[in-house]
Structure 1
Amino acid sequence: MAEPSPSGSGDAPRPSAPAPDGMLRIRGGVGGLSFQFEELLAGAAALDGAVSQLYALEAEADSVRRSLFGYQPDAYRSGSNAIIAVGEAGRDIGRVRAELENIAAQVRASHREYEFTEARNALLLRMGLSGPEYGSAEGAFQLPGLRDQVEQRVALVPHGLALLLGVPLPLAEALKASGAVAGGPGDLRRTIRELTAMPGLGFLKPRPVSVIRSESGTAEVDLSAAGLLRQAEAVGRTSGDIEVIQTDVGDSRAWVVVLPGTQLDGLPAGTNPFDTAGIAEALGYDSRETGLAIRQALRDAGAAAGEQVAAVGYSQGGIHAMNLSSDEAFLAEFDLKFVLTAGSPVGGITPGPGISSLHLEHQHDWVPGSDGTPNPDTRDRVTVTLTNDLVLPPGQDFGLGPGHRLENYVEGAEAISGSRDPSLQASAAALAAVVGSGGTASVTRFSLRREASPAGPATATGPEPRVRHPDASRGARRLRG
């Protein structure tokens, strides 16, 4: 990406890619290319307005010049000088108008050029190619990280579904061969719905989710992005739990909903809303039942209609959190202002207007790419890809891979807090404007349960979730977000 033109150089303004920021690769927000493109078009539109005004002034100057012709015989010398002066002023206005028209044309040409270049670069990246224009030091073509490879190869849906939903790989392959399972990012939602209609896969269908109990108290809460992800880690230690935090911002209240990642043990099979069937509900059914339970939990915690809410989720929890941003019923009741996700495939979810979001992904975490759709680059939506090296601590379960560990995302969120990138600073300010900076807050822990399947907890083809004692090691659970 070319460097931006310096102020006062006379060249048309050019958008510029964000500068490298340590292990953070940042896309979207006020420093993102799309917003800079919007600014280019807005600048061109402003120049058009100035050109229109100058056209009017030019015409008015010519009208004044012509009106002076009738007075020229009365005082020929002074009259002639006046006519000449007004005429020169009109020509000066015309020269400025023509220059502004030329600048506006250059701005639009820059927009078209960079829009084409970005589309070309995106196509090459989706083909698995990168070069010096993408920051390669050697200039040789390279393969992208694991996350991008999964996104690019989402046509291999059976493998992804086998990993995400617990569908046995032979069955997923057979469904793919029969044409029942479609490939491609636009088909994932339909594919999941078709899968849940297949014999033996009824355990993936959404069923009602209820709030069965709650426990309230006060605690010191860190409401930064890193602090909220640590809160999600704590919530995830108990199967089926979510958390609602009440915080005071000035004279008003705000609420934070904290959602865990996928949980495969600790409850009778099929009753935990955050098991593999929860992934199917989130990706295929817009969190229909879980979203209703979240709304009920907010009401039970004391949230009133119209109050501001922020939603935080890790992995599966991030999909549920982001689905709230497009849930018309939820948005009609509560004023959702911010969504924070980590390791979540949410590229296909379009939030309502005025909702800011921050998405953390790791280049070696395949889960965020499993929907086959990159997160859009918009003013209110910032995606941070972490590029640091990964090491799996000894003795910990591999789970979904070291890139998906929540500790990695907490570390990334801490790096974000010290970044001077304009997109990240604006995102942090948007989060703080909703929830404040932290301190003593009212915290309510809710336990959610899904209605048991009529066919019983075990299915012919679905996996038998492993039951683990509630005091099992945290490490094995964290890797299963």
Structure 2
Amino acid sequence: MVELPPGVPGETLMPRAPGSDGPLRIRGGVGGLSFQFEELLSGASALDDVVCLLQSVESEAALLSLALLPHQSSAYYNGTKAFAAVGDAGREIARVREQLQKISTDVRASHREYEYAESHAAIMMRIGLGMAALGAGPDLVSLPHRDATEGVMRDLPQAFALMLGLEPGVAGTVGATVGPSDTGGILRGIAAAPGLAHLMPRAVSVSRGEESTRNVDLSAPGLLKVLDQVSSSSEGEIEVLQVDNAGQRAWVVLIPGTQPAHPGGQPGGDNPLDEAGIVEALGYGSAETSQAIRQALREAGAEAGDVVVAVGHSQGGIHAMNLSQDKAFLAQYNLKFVVTAGSPVGGITPEAGIGSLHMEHQNDWVPGADGKMNPDTKDRVTVTLTNAVTLAPGEDPGIGPEHKLSRYAEGAELVRKSTDPSLVASTAALGGVLGVGGMVRSQRFKLRRAPALHAPRGAGPDVVGAEPTAARAEQKVPRAKPSDIRSRSGGR
């Protein structure tokens, strides 16, 4: 947003940073700009109602003055006094009404100016003015911080090709072939390129794993710590927690981030959470993984209408957030809240009433990889961490220390302790669904992607792999064709 410094007429409008609480930069929620916009208009409407009421009283006062006028001659002292009092009251009511009308007009003008400034800033960001260019180096760790990555749409094809595990030379070719587009279109274009059909989504099966009962902290930091344990101790597994919150049963689905293919292998193997899972998550709405999560919940004992919370890191956060717009999932379960850490989910619009908390770090480029800022709404809070992150001696940096789930769990502790109104409300919303913690039943489920040469559910003869399923068709997510790639390339 932008604001005009008070008392400096004609001063150039300057950007104002989002609200912050120490190392936390906060957008959205009850303290967010959009909700404040709504409150401004709501306040202006309330003032208009009062103005209408005062106009009615003002008219009544005028009629009363006319009724008193003939009595001045019969009771001069008292009649004149009453006539003057009613007249003074009417004029005072008119003065208050005029002031309220001016306040209402000013509030609406303020809303228009803020809205214009926000729209102007969004347009400038979309056309890339003032944004840094994406580094050409093949090392993902050298990519710029989160905000710069979000603004550089022209280099997203190459960045995603690198993220999918392709060789730098191949990534460069893909970047030159697939022109600027939306993230989903880029990924579908990559998967449809010759020789890359193994990146296409395929059916995902579910099998039961380990089951236990243990004490779990059900706050955001507690759940991220449990998710970190799932990520580090298994491959291709998700965890489902059964929670009893004061007699109300609820379920938590924990989805790990990207688990790279084994050295010597390639993405698109039997682990649906490998690099090819990014294509399914951002390009195809997580259709296969969402269906597998529904099956895992059913096998865990969840019934239709049960309350669900989804938690995910990186790619897992995209799958988790995709549940919030998956009609098949929402028809079966009551998804109440989503927690993501280091996930690019700005392009996902949840159904109304689903709360979400998104953890990001300003030096983690992954949350900006879809080129879209998370919307600022009452139910959706985004926290950007600004603290310095260091690695322990000998610790693997991965694609950057700021992207590590353990660091996001530490940041979530700051969120829980924050007094910012948006974070207090978000923490309370999650606590209202799950409670503070206690004994839960935990079940692991192994997810396995169908073999690449298997063509389930009507795969066409021209594709080595699977066609988008009926679930994907239901979400109306188009599949890119080689001709789409050529047309996008020609439009650069």
- TM-score with structure 1 length normalisation? 0.83
Write the mapping of 1:50-129 to structure 2, written as runs, cut at 5 A: 50-119=50-119, 127-128=129-130
CA distance in 1, matches of 2:433, 2:393: 39
CA distance in 2, matches of 1:350, 1:433: 23
Q: CA deviation at 1:66?
A: 2.0
- Comparing 263-272 with 194-203, which one deviates more in the overlay? 263-272
The 1:31–1:202 alpha-carbon spacing in structure 2 relative to 1, beyond 3 Å, is same
SS of equivalent to 1:361: strand
**Preserved contact between residue 249 and residue 435 of structure 1 (Cα < 8 Å):** yes
The match for 1:215 is 210
The aligned amino acid for 2:67 is S
- Residue by residue over 1:278-331, the C-alpha shift from the partner in whole angstroms, topping out at 9 and shown as x without a partner, is 110000011001001111111111111112111000000000000001111111
- Comparing 256-265 with 160-169, which one deviates more in the overlay? 160-169
1:224 aligns with 2:219: yes
The 1:25–1:123 alpha-carbon spacing in structure 2 relative to 1, beyond 3 Å, is farther
CA distance in 2, matches of 1:279, 1:334: 24
Write the mapping of 1:430-449 to structure 2, written as runs, cut at 5 A: 430-449=429-448
- Residue by residue over 1:183-227, the C-alpha shift from the partner in whole angstroms, topping out at 9 and shown as x without a partner, is 15xx11122223222221111111111112233220111111111
The match for 1:28 is 28
The aligned amino acid for 2:180 is G
The 1:66–1:182 alpha-carbon spacing in structure 2 relative to 1, beyond 3 Å, is farther
- Residue by residue over 1:234-280, the C-alpha shift from the partner in whole angstroms, topping out at 9 and shown as x without a partner, is 11131111011111111211111100011124699611110111110
- Comparing 338-347 with 21-30, which one deviates more in the overlay? 21-30
The match for 1:246 is 242
The 1:170–1:145 alpha-carbon spacing in structure 2 relative to 1, beyond 3 Å, is closer
- TM-score with structure 2 length normalisation? 0.81
Q: CA deviation at 1:121?
A: 5.3
CA distance in 2, matches of 1:17, 1:28: 13
CA distance in 2, matches of 1:253, 1:372: 37
CA distance in 2, matches of 1:78, 1:27: 62
- Comparing 318-327 with 259-268, which one deviates more in the overlay? 259-268
SS of equivalent to 1:155: helix
The 1:23–1:3 alpha-carbon spacing in structure 2 relative to 1, beyond 3 Å, is farther
CA distance in 2, matches of 1:56, 1:275: 68
- Residue by residue over 1:59-104, the C-alpha shift from the partner in whole angstroms, topping out at 9 and shown as x without a partner, is 1221222233454554344333333222221111111100101111
**Preserved contact between residue 346 and residue 375 of structure 2 (Cα < 8 Å):** yes
The 1:19–1:374 alpha-carbon spacing in structure 2 relative to 1, beyond 3 Å, is closer
Structure 1 vs Structure 2 CA RMSD: 2.6
Write the mapping of 1:120-139 to structure 2, written as runs, cut at 5 A: 127-128=129-130
How many residues in Structure 1 have an aligned counterpart in Structure 2?
Answer: 430
CA distance in 2, matches of 1:78, 1:56: 26
SS of equivalent to 1:245: strand
**Preserved contact between residue 183 and residue 370 of structure 2 (Cα < 8 Å):** yes
**Preserved contact between residue 17 and residue 33 of structure 1 (Cα < 8 Å):** no
Runs of at least 5 residues in structure 2 that lack an aligned partner in the other structure: 7-15, 133-142, 456-463, 465-492
Identity across the alignment (%): 55
The aligned amino acid for 1:182 is G
Q: Please, which of 179, 183, 186 is the counterpart of residue 180 of structure 2?
A: 183
The 1:145–1:39 alpha-carbon spacing in structure 2 relative to 1, beyond 3 Å, is farther
CA distance in 1, matches of 2:367, 2:5: 31
Write the mapping of 1:159-308 to structure 2, written as runs, cut at 5 A: 159-178=158-177, 181-184=178-181, 187-236=182-231, 237-265=233-261, 270-308=269-307
The 1:98–1:367 alpha-carbon spacing in structure 2 relative to 1, beyond 3 Å, is same
**Preserved contact between residue 158 and residue 169 of structure 1 (Cα < 8 Å):** no
- Comparing 385-394 with 240-249, which one deviates more in the overlay? 385-394
Q: CA deviation at 1:123?
A: 6.1
The match for 2:487 is none
Runs of at least 5 residues in structure 1 that lack an aligned partner in the other structure: 6-15, 131-143, 457-461, 463-481
SS of equivalent to 2:325: coil
CA distance in 1, matches of 2:59, 2:131: 55
The 1:306–1:345 alpha-carbon spacing in structure 2 relative to 1, beyond 3 Å, is same
The aligned amino acid for 1:209 is V
CA distance in 1, matches of 2:443, 2:281: 23
- Comparing 83-92 with 356-365, which one deviates more in the overlay? 83-92
CA distance in 1, matches of 2:312, 2:213: 21
- Residue by residue over 1:7-63, the C-alpha shift from the partner in whole angstroms, topping out at 9 and shown as x without a partner, is xxxxxxxxx966542221111111122222221121111111111111111112212
The aligned amino acid for 2:204 is V
Q: CA deviation at 1:176?
A: 4.1
The aligned amino acid for 1:104 is S
- Comparing 294-303 with 263-272, which one deviates more in the overlay? 263-272
**Preserved contact between residue 338 and residue 356 of structure 1 (Cα < 8 Å):** yes
CA distance in 2, matches of 1:412, 1:123: 31
- Comparing 157-166 with 38-47, which one deviates more in the overlay? 157-166
- Residue by residue over 1:97-143, the C-alpha shift from the partner in whole angstroms, topping out at 9 and shown as x without a partner, is 0010111122222223333444555567764479xxxxxxxxxxxxx
